[in-house]
Amino acid sequence: MLLSKIQNFIGRLYFMVKLLQISLLLVLLFNPNDAFSHQCGKAIVSEEVNKIYETCILFARQASYTQNNNEIFRSYFGTFENLSNEANLLELKAESGDHAFQFIWSQVLRFAYSHDLEWRDKAPLILEEQLHYEQDFWVRESAKGGFMAAMEAIIESFLSPYTTKSDSEKRLMQGYAKLLIENNLPGAMDLLVRINATSSHEEVESIFNDQLAQYKILPVKTIHHLARSLVVGRYWSEEGSFEFQKDINKAKELYLFLTNEKKDAKSTYQFALLEGAANKNSALKYFKLAAKYGFAKAVGWLGDYYSCTGDNELARQFLIRSKKLGYVFADDSLGEIDTYGRPNTCDNGWVKAM
């Protein structure tokens, strides 16, 4: 019963807010000169989309870059928490289903609010998340409605090297690009070529799994990269990236292969670091082997280790040797031994990962 009353109250409240917004829209439409004091607002009332974009978005973006602040955007649209008349009008037009205005509103969300660093410094995280959600929502709604500028914007976002999208997203982008080609948009064919050349999340994952299955025939550098990916739980390449569950045991398998088959000192050291969490005696053996191969970090690690276990004379010998090999923290450890009797990397007779 109480839940029903709350739901009814929220419904009535939402209706009242929308009614107020519609009232505001009517005022703005019939009294534009009173409501707006600059060209952006008047352009919005004119409903000329190109004029709105040029006057309200492009001009303000150029000004913000030149002046290194967001004052023009703020004077036009307020903040995400306190919308101006212009912003309220744009939002209403977007909500009415106008695909052109959905795109314009998404650009206001993107450039006027997302780039307002002064507001973002003070805004709670949940508001920032809401802002990003709404920005993405409106540009996608516009693209679904067939607005070409929105399709182009979404495609450019898809082609960003910082994220890897799904197969279904790639197919959607291919569909948008074909529509742009049909409508003779300049550069649309190039967009389609780039989309086709972009690997989806599933394709990148398949590349990773294929490499992992045949790692023994791959170059040492590639195996290193695979092992590192297994340690951090993220694979990245020119084709894209994706996250997955870390697999330390598999990483150790790869490092041990490089140790035994390639006599790779870096891999020996990396294996020792991982092995130390489970078997310190075994790890020490591999630290010594990596040092024997002349790996500077391993020599430095042993220098710290010997000090941590009470042999500062031997520790100094290894640290001096590691310095000659290029270990950049050798002087730090030597100084700490002289000052405190041991380096600050000591951890109950062991050495913290370096």
If one compares 35 and 134, the residue with the highest pLDDT of the two is 134
Do residues 189 and 84 share a domain? no
Q: Which of 116-130, 181-195, 214-228 has the lowest mean pLDDT?
A: 116-130
The answer to whether residue 332 is domain-embedded is yes
The answer to whether residue 4 is domain-embedded is no
Query: If pLDDT is split at 50, 70 and 90, which confidence band does 68 have?
Result: low
Of 247, 262, 277, the one marking the end of a domain is 262
- Per-residue pLDDT of 103-161, as tens digits, reads 999 999 988 888 888 888 888 888 889 999 999 999 999 999 999 999 999 999 998 87
Phi and psi at residue 299, in whole multiples of 5°? -65, -45
> What residues make up the domain containing 349?
265-354
Domain count for the chain, please give it: 4
**Does 15 score more than 50 pLDDT?**
no
Do residues 354 and 322 share a domain? yes
The answer to whether residue 204 is domain-embedded is no
Do residues 313 and 351 share a domain? yes
CA distance 155 to 150: 9
The answer to whether residue 225 is domain-embedded is yes
**Does 207 score more than 70 pLDDT?**
yes
**Does 9 score more than 70 pLDDT?**
no
Angle at 186 between CA 73 and CA 175, to 5 degrees: 90
Do residues 234 and 159 share a domain? no
Element (H, E) at 237: strand 234-237
- Per-residue pLDDT of 230-263, as tens digits, reads 999 999 888 888 899 999 999 999 999 999 999 9
- Per-residue pLDDT of 42-57, as tens digits, reads 888 778 888 888 888 8
The answer to whether residue 203 is domain-embedded is no
Do residues 104 and 223 share a domain? no
The answer to whether residue 297 is domain-embedded is yes
Q: What is the pLDDT of residue 181?
A: 97
The answer to whether residue 340 is domain-embedded is yes
**Does 184 score more than 70 pLDDT?**
yes
- Per-residue pLDDT of 306-345, as tens digits, reads 999 999 999 999 999 999 999 999 999 999 999 999 999 9
CA distance 44 to 89: 8
Do residues 80 and 126 share a domain? yes
Report the Cα 192 to chain-centroid distance in Å.
24
**Rounded to 10 degrees, what is the CA torsion of 279, 280, 281, 285?**
110
Token pair of 213 as six digits = 């299955």
Query: If pLDDT is split at 50, 70 and 90, which confidence band does 177 have?
Result: very high
Do residues 181 and 129 share a domain? no
Do residues 135 and 42 share a domain? yes
Query: Distance of CA 148 to CAs 67, 94, 106, Å?
Result: 31, 16, 14
Q: What is the pLDDT of residue 259?
A: 97
CA distance 21 to 16: 9
**Does 61 score more than 60 pLDDT?**
yes
Q: Which of 26-30, 248-252, 287-291 has the lowest mean pLDDT?
A: 26-30
- Per-residue pLDDT of 71-106, as tens digits, reads 888 888 888 888 888 889 899 999 999 999 999 999
Element (H, E) at 178: helix 167-182
**Does 32 score more than 50 pLDDT?**
no
Least Cα distance to 219 among 162, 181, 165, 257 occurs for 257
Do residues 127 and 55 share a domain? yes
**Does 4 score more than 90 pLDDT?**
no
Do residues 32 and 131 share a domain? yes
Do residues 128 and 69 share a domain? yes
The answer to whether residue 290 is domain-embedded is yes
Sequence-ordered list of residues with C-beta below 8 angstroms from that of 76, at least 6 positions apart, any chain: 38, 40, 41, 56, 60, 84, 86, 87, 112
Query: Distance of CA 238 to CAs 22, 142, 197, 204, Å?
Result: 49, 31, 11, 9
Q: What is the pLDDT of residue 33?
A: 43
CA distance 188 to 192: 6
Do residues 22 and 139 share a domain? yes
